[in-house]
């Protein structure tokens, strides 16, 4: 994973969340499945704001998927995790970021 300067508290909390996901999956299984959803850049602004102030092509180009995420993208992952199709999935992290965390980013 990547970090920015002065984000130690955020990074530590993220690591704690993933460790808790793993530990709870072991402690609570098989009755309860525990997974973590880690969203990336999600444009959760009000639709009227998104129309008035759309993201730029540069914003979208940062994502290998070609766009920033939507609330619906995250909701779809959660819905799948709650479905019977994910009945054998526990203790995992699901990154919903359009591939952004896999892309090399260089400052200008």
User: Which residues are known catalytic residues?
Assistant: 10
Contacts 24+ apart (CB under 8 A), 87-91: 87/33, 89/33, 89/35, 90/25, 90/29, 90/33, 90/34, 90/35, 91/21, 91/22, 91/25, 91/26, 91/29, 91/34, 91/35
């Amino acid at each position: 994973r990547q970090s920015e300067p002065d984000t130690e508290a955020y990074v530590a909390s993220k690591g704690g969340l993933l460790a808790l996901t793993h530990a709870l999956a072991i402690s609570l299984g098989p009755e309860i499945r525990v997974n973590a959803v880690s969203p990336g850049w999600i444009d959760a602004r009000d639709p009227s704001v998104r129309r008035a102030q759309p993201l730029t092509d540069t914003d979208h180009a940062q994502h290998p998927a070609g766009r920033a995420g939507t609330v619906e993208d995250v909701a779809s992952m959660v819905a799948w995790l709650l479905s019977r199709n994910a009945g054998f999935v526990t203790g995992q992290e699901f990154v919903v970021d359009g591939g952004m965390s896999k892309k090399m980013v260089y400052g200008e």
